[in-house]
Chains A and B, each alone.
Chain A
Amino acid sequence: MITFDAVTKAFPGGTVAVDNLSIELPTGQITVFVGPSGCGKTTSLRMINRLIEPTSGTISIDGEDVTKQDAAVLRRKIGYVIQHAGLFPHRTVQDNIATVPLLNGVNKKQARENAVELLGRVGLDASMATRYPAQLSGGQQQRVGVARALAADPPVMLMDEPFSAVDPIVRDGLQKEFLRLQAEVGKTIAFVTHDIDEAIKLGDTVAVFREGGHLAQVGTPQELLDDPADDFVADFVGRDRGFRGLSFVTAEGLEVEPVQTYVDGVRGVRLLLDDAGRPRGWTVNGSDDVRAITGTFTKQDSLRLVTDLAISSPAGVAVRVDGDGVADGAATHASIADHLADARRESAG
């Protein structure tokens, strides 16, 4: 656990970047620091590995004050990932990844072997090992950055906007893999972002910062969406927070209508299935044009996805499939609304 106890940082120019911050980052979880630019997120993060020293207050990891430890030794136990990865241009990918193990005195052969293995864990091909960073795309560099931070198997990771500099599609892939990786390794992670969507997607806990280095609210993503502490948080979380909140309700128990209704046609719209019963597309008013199906959902998917599918399909329904991809039901707007009402009642009672 990382503990901030009344931590304040005032820079020489007089800027108070962090003001009396007290927060706990639970072991094995992702805590996201989110907020507009310049509100002290990076400063807070960099005080953990002492790249910045606090003006007052203490930061401790598992009860040990970080300022009481040798800075270099402390840092070797903390992984650090930044926006543009910060890879060493003069070292190959494997030697970049092997950096901290080498600092710790692991022999070079061993460190390189581990590095190549880690490449696989972050979804890169082993053939990349001997390339230089300049020969990788931005997304690949970022993966190497994550691998480098993981190389010495540190219990704590600090990540400062690690996915901000890549395009949205690559970012989405990186985020998914990051969650998968975290499920395996269970690190204590402090993650900085200015993107509320990313915070909600990745955070076990989200800490919303406001200008002047104040903490506006700390809670689970759902708590922030359901019950913002004040106007600032409500505004930052956004007008469509109700819709975003659907991310936390699953389609488990959602009432569906039989698929047969739509195969035979409703309001001139028919669902086409292939021989195995998997949805292929829609036809409208008996036309020969087939509009490809944009997506389907399973019981584990979020109500947000179901709603989106229902809104965008010509029939106004979202098609549910089983594990084999065979259509086994259709959710209408009405059934989604009922399900949501049930979910609200449950969480309130």
Chain B
Amino acid sequence: MIEYIQNNYSEILTDLGQHIWLALVPVVLGVIFALPVGYLAVRRGWLYQPIVNLGGVLYSIPSLALFLIMPAILGTGTLSPLNIVVSLAVYTFALLTRTVADALLSVQGQATQAAEAMGFRPFRQLLQVELPMALPVMLAGVRVATVANISLVSVGALIGVGGLGALFTRGLQLGFMEPIIVGIVLSVLLAAVCDIAIVLLQRRLTPWDRVATR
């Protein structure tokens, strides 16, 4: 095992690097699109159910299928990394629109009423009252989406772009366990590190949340 890592570490690092951006760029894209759409689902109540249903449908499409439908939609080649990035962004979006909408709904109450009564205009109220209060729930959703993306990227190896997934195909071809175990361990570690990073970010961003649960 040690020998395998020593002989292949530059390849492993390249795979890891690709894995990271393939997983995390979609998180950023998904958040950017989920925020306005989730907000819309709250502001226009009749849109809530259709948006949630659409998210549920998108989220249930198996990843390999979505990776392979993308070329037909985007006009890309089947081996383009864009297929993976857009697919994972779609999953993140599907998961987070509902989380954003539910988080914004869950903070409606005394405090938002008080804000309205004190003369906040809607956009400022969203920015200064509702979004900060909704942040803990939204970040919990970002954690789930990030970990899910990291575990999904390797499926992309079946179509040639899969970060650490390349180690799995290599292991299968050669009948070796070593690359597979290295790939699994690194993938799980990456997920754990990102998860902890988001938790730490949340602590910084929402100091009131900790005192509330104390």
Contacts and interface: CB of A to CB of B under 8 A. Distances in A.
Instruction: Classify A-B as touching or not with yes or no (CB < 8 A).
Output: yes
Given A51-B116, A75-B119, A76-B119, 9 more contacts: A49-B117, A72-B119, A86-B113, A86-B114, A90-B206, A91-B208, A99-B115, A100-B118, A134-B212
A73 B119 CA distance: 6
A72 B110 contact: no
A49 B132 CA distance: 25
Interface of A: 49, 51, 71-76, 78, 80, 82-91, 99-100, 103, 131-135, 148, 158
B212 A89 contact: yes
A82 B133 contact: no
Given A72-B119, A73-B119, A75-B119, A86 B133 contact: no
Contact of A82 (B114, B124, B206, B212): B114
Contact of B117 (A73, A80, A132): A80
A72 B113 contact: no
A296 B6 CA distance: 91
A328 B124 CA distance: 63
B190 interface: no
Interface string B168-211: 00000000000000000000000000000000000000111101
Nearest to B121: A72
Interface residues of B, number: 24
Interface of B: 109-111, 113-121, 124, 129, 132-133, 135, 206-209, 211-212, 214
Given A82-B110, A82-B113, A84-B110, A74 B211 contact: no
Nearest to A92: B208
A76 B116 CA distance: 10
Given A76-B118, A90-B132, A99-B118, A51 B111 contact: no
Contacts of A85: 110, 114
B124 to A, nearest CB: 8
Contacts of B109: 86
A90 B211 CA distance: 10
Contacts of B211: 131-132, 134-135
A87 B114 CA distance: 8
B154 to A, nearest CB: 38
Given A132-B208, A132-B211, A134-B212, A87 B111 contact: yes
A72 B120 contact: yes
B119 A103 contact: yes
A74 B119 CA distance: 7
Contacts of A158: 117
Given A89-B133, A132-B208, A132-B211, A75 B117 contact: yes
Contacts of B116: 51, 75
Given A86-B111, A87-B111, A90-B132, A132 B212 contact: yes
Contacts of B132: 90
A89 B115 CA distance: 12
Contact of A90 (B120, B121, B133): B133
B118 A89 contact: no
A80 B212 CA distance: 24
